[in-house]
Structures are given as C-alpha cells and as structure tokens.
Amino acid sequence: MSVNQSFAKWLPKTKIALPYLSIALITVLVNFSVSPTVIANGTDREVFRYMGMLISLGGMPYLDAFYDKPPLIYLLAALVHGMGPWGLWFLECVFVAVAAMVFYRFAKVQGWVFPCLHALLLVIWLRTPGEVWKDGGRYGDTRSFVAPLLMILFVLLCSKINKRFLIGGVIAGALVMLQQEALLPLMGFVPVLLYSHPRKIQIVSEFIMGVMLAVGSILLWLYSGDAFGTFYTQTVDFAFSYHVSLLERLGLIAMLPGKLLYFQCLVPLVLVVFVGLVMIRKNKIGYLEVAIFLALFMQLISISLTGNFMWDYFIPIFPFLSLATGFAVTRLWQWKGSVVAIVVASAIYITPFLPVAKVLGRTYFGTRAPDYYSRFAPVKQEIEHLHGSHGEFFAMREGRALSINTDLEIIAPTKWIHYYVDKKAGHNTEAKIKKFNDGVSELDSILTDLELAETSYILDNTGNLPLGRDPQSKWMAYLKQHYDPILQNQKYGVLWKRRK
C-alpha cells in the first residue's frame, strides 16, 4: 500500500476522532484552572479525602468519623488516595471529559446544530463558571461527580447499547450513593425514558436490578464493617434535618432567577422555556423533550431543599440545561433560520466563556501562589515526624486542615473531625448534635477523646471562628491547662503542643 493510500484511509478516522480529542484536551486545560496548584483546599473535599484515607487504612466512615454524605465519594477518594490532592481532581477530569464526549455524540445523532460547541459549553459550566465561584473554581465536591454522571446516564438510556438499562440502573444507584438529592432529577427523566420503550416490564426490571446491584454492594460493605446503622443515622436522619419547610422553599425558588443570572445561565434557561412553551402549543413535544424539561425542573427544585444557595448546588443543573439548550437552539434554527439561531447561540456561548478566559489567563499566565500547598506548610513541617500515627494531631474549627491528617496519614483522635455546632445558623444547634450523640455535646465528646488519646498537637482556629461564649471559654481553658502555643498564623490559627 502506498503512502498516499495509507493517508487516505487514516484521514477519515482522524476526522472522526478529532472532536473527541479536542474535547478531552480542552477539558484538561480548563480543569487546571481548578487544580490544587491554583485554588484553596475546601472543607468538604478534605473530609472526603480524609475518609478515603481512613478506608485505605482499614477504617470505616460513619464509625471512625462523623459526616453526612453518602459513602461513594469516600470510596472514590480511597481509590485515588495515593495521588494526594490530585486524586479527586483527576477523577473529575475523567468524568467531565467522558460526559462531554457522550453529549457530543448524542447531539450528533440527534442532528443538533453546533454539537461540539454544546459539549464545550458543558465542560465550561461543569468546571469553572468564572469568577462567580470562590477562588475561580472548586473541585472534589459530590455534585461535581453527580453532574457528569447524570449526563452519561441520560445519554446511555437514549442509546442503543446492549444492557444499557442494567448499566443505567448501576449508574442511578451510584448517583444516590453520591448525593441524596440526586434522586430528584432521576425521578424527572428516568421514568419518562423507560416508559417510552416498548418492552417496559423487561427494561424496568433490568434497571431496578442495576440499582440494587450498586446500592446493595455498598450497603453490604457498610454492614460488614458494622457501619450500616450509623450510616443511616448520619446520611438520612441527620442530613435531612437540614431540609426546610415548603414556605421557605418557595421563597428560595422565587430567588432562582437572580442566582441563575449570577451563574450566567439565565439566558439559555429563558430560551429553553420559550421554545418549550411554543412546542407545547404546537403539540410537537416528544418523550425526549419531556424528559429533559422534567429533569431540569426537578433539579431546580432540588437546589432549594436545604435552605441554602451554595455554589455547588447549581452544578447538576448544567447537564440538563446543556441538553435543553442544544435542543432549543436547533429548533430555533429550524423555525427562524440560521441567522437568528447563531445570534442567540452566540449570546449563550460567549457569556460563560468570557469569565472563564479570565480564570484561565490567571491560571497559565498569572502569578498566583499555590494556596493549597502553602496554607498549612509550617504546621506540616512541625508535625511530619508523626506520619502514620493515631490520634496525635487534631484541627479545631479548621476543616481544611484535615489535609494535614490525610497527607501524613494521621488518624484523628475523635470522630468529630468537622465541628458542626453553629456551622450554619438555625441548622446545627447544640440540642440537635446531642440528639445524634447520645445526649453528649460535641465539644464534650471532643475533649474526652483528646484526653484519652493524649493528643500531641492541636491546631486551633477558634480565634477566627469562635465556638460561642461558654463553649469557647471551656475550650480555651482546656488548651491552656494542657498545651503551649508554638506557631501562630492568621490563615490557620494557633498550633498548640501538649506539655510533657
């Protein structure tokens, strides 16, 4: 075969692969703007990494540490524990890239206009909606994994892949084991897509089997480690005590337009609603469109459950908003022609790209310090000789300092690794904590555990985040009785060392 013939056979394959390679490359580039070298470590992420470390050392979440998230994020963190702070970042990069690729393929099959741009917009929305995110972006939160999995599941159920309903059930089970509220968007689109299939009973059975396989495997692991009871208490009873009343939820829903504008996605949402209403009026809406719109609606409801509009609560909107936007722009092209569609699409695409360009410019050409590594460097240097120990270091009111425990593999002396009381006004009261701690206050439990372990070092950040008048006095009295301050910094507080 001649060189020209070889090139002729290779070129079509390259053209097919080029969009996927481009999506993968852009995903990696964008993800570096939320990597450990440029952003601060966050409390939730460090809790997940700590739980992963516990699992890798033979411990159990919910028994050895108290936190209200489902266990799959801990298992993912355990899987990449050896990669340090880059582990969860790497996993998210893979999840987002796969989600964007399958979305691109779906858009191509559906005949949507600008399929590659839709996929890239999904990457931008999932990773860095610009300056509206703290420190230019975050990674390692449960919803950062939930969002790409929702897209993958939606596309999978619409595909022709063998055993897609069984695999889809596994993914759906995994979603619930990642974040409790993920059940709501699943209720929006899964029943519609399953109902649209002619073999309803068979595919529903396969889907349920997949869910049971995923959820059952994780629950069996918890049961074998005697952690099932505490798992239920923390992830159901405790977690759902955050959820607010219907009246409060309606008030939050009324605030959604302003928040969506802040997150640069109000314009596409308005377009989606407009096109949806027109299609309903023309009676031209099918199962696929109903599934997209219901999922988007249910996800918007999900945001308001806990009474807070945290930035990461919005991430699972973006898969369905991307689907709805691609559908709406294509319909607009068909109805009004290419000029109108291009103008509207430009307004949708350019808005989130501009702040992202600023973030990427700062990432690759700026002089920003690597905050993740620098924040606790003096403390880690002081206690690095404790690597692999048990109970020798504890951080009070500084959840981000769990990175020290994780990186040095120091198991904390208490299960109360993240101080809950007064963390959120009206939610974590002392009475509530006592209800889930056999009537004992959180602070008393911590003090008892510190004494039993004779903890060598305590990093105290209550100077920046006080415990309240009486608990703060009790805490400071304990520190002064048993410890001496050896390091102090405005970023992390005071490091105390136990007297011999």
- Predicted local confidence at residue 437, as pLDDT: 84
Tell me: do 7 and 153 sit in the same domain: yes
Please give the mean pLDDT across all residues of the chain: 83
355-388 burial code (b ≥16 CB/10 A, e <16): bbeebbeebeeeeeeeebeebbeebbebbeebee
Q: Determine the 3-state secondary structure of 495 from DSSP.
A: strand
Tell me: do 227 and 164 sit in the same domain: yes
Tens digits of residue pLDDT in 267-284: 777 777 777 777 777 777
- Predicted local confidence at residue 113, as pLDDT: 87
63-98 burial code (b ≥16 CB/10 A, e <16): bbbbbbbbbbbbbbbbebbeeebebbbebbbebbbb
- Predicted local confidence at residue 496, as pLDDT: 96
What is the pLDDT confidence band of residue 10, given thresholds at 50, 70 and 90? very low
- Predicted local confidence at residue 58, as pLDDT: 93
Got the DSSP string for 107-125?
HHHHT-SSHHHHHHHHHHH
Average pLDDT over residues 69-89: 93
Span of 46-55, 154-163, 330-339, 426-435 with lowest mean pLDDT: 426-435
Query: Is residue 369 over pLDDT 50?
Result: no
Pair 377, 401: CB distance under 8 Å:
no
Would 223 be classed as within a structural domain?
yes
Query: Is residue 368 over pLDDT 50?
Result: yes
DSSP 390: B
Tell me: do 380 and 236 sit in the same domain: no
Give the residue, 438 or 457, on which the prediction is more confident.
Answer: 457
Tell me: do 351 and 385 sit in the same domain: no
* Cα Rg of the chain, angstroms: 25
Q: Tell which residue, 454, 465, 343, has the closest CA to residue 390.
A: 454
- Predicted local confidence at residue 94, as pLDDT: 94
Tell me: do 355 and 393 sit in the same domain: no
Tell me: do 160 and 123 sit in the same domain: yes
Tens digits of residue pLDDT in 233-267: 988 888 777 655 555 666 666 666 666 666 667 77
- Predicted local confidence at residue 131, as pLDDT: 42
Percent of the chain with pLDDT over 90: 40
Q: Determine the 3-state secondary structure of 411 from DSSP.
A: strand
Number of domains in the chain: 2
Would 294 be classed as within a structural domain?
yes
Tell me: do 192 and 71 sit in the same domain: yes
Tell me: do 330 and 469 sit in the same domain: no
Average pLDDT over residues 220-227: 95
The partner residues of 483 in beta bridges, in order of sequence, read: 498
Tell me: do 352 and 409 sit in the same domain: no
Residue 172 CA to residue 167 CA, distance in Å, equals: 9
Mention every residue, 6+ apart, whose C-beta is less than 8 A from residue 283: none
Among 334, 365, 396, the domain boundary falls at 365
Among 302, 333, 365, the domain boundary falls at 365
Query: Is residue 211 over pLDDT 50?
Result: yes
What is the pLDDT confidence band of residue 63, given thresholds at 50, 70 and 90? very high
Pair 419, 396: CB distance under 8 Å:
yes
Structural domain harbouring 184: 3-365
Tell me: do 98 and 190 sit in the same domain: yes
Would 251 be classed as within a structural domain?
yes
- Predicted local confidence at residue 99, as pLDDT: 96
Residue 288: other Cβ atoms inside 10 A: 17
Tens digits of residue pLDDT in 122-181: 988 887 654 444 443 455 578 889 999 999 999 999 998 889 999 999 999 999 999 888
Residue 187: other Cβ atoms inside 10 A: 14
Among 365, 384, 417, the domain boundary falls at 365
What token pair was written down for 402?
């769990």
Tell me: do 283 and 396 sit in the same domain: no
Pair 102, 321: CB distance under 8 Å:
no
Would 465 be classed as within a structural domain?
yes
What token pair was written down for 266?
């109000």
Q: Determine the 3-state secondary structure of 459 from DSSP.
A: strand
Name the burial class of residue 319, with classes exposed (0-12), middle (13-18) and buried (19+) by CB atoms within 10 angstroms of its CB: buried
Span of 95-99, 149-153, 171-175, 332-336 with lowest mean pLDDT: 332-336
Span of 30-34, 69-73, 97-101 with lowest mean pLDDT: 30-34
Would 370 be classed as within a structural domain?
no
Pair 289, 279: CB distance under 8 Å:
yes
Tell me: do 361 and 380 sit in the same domain: no
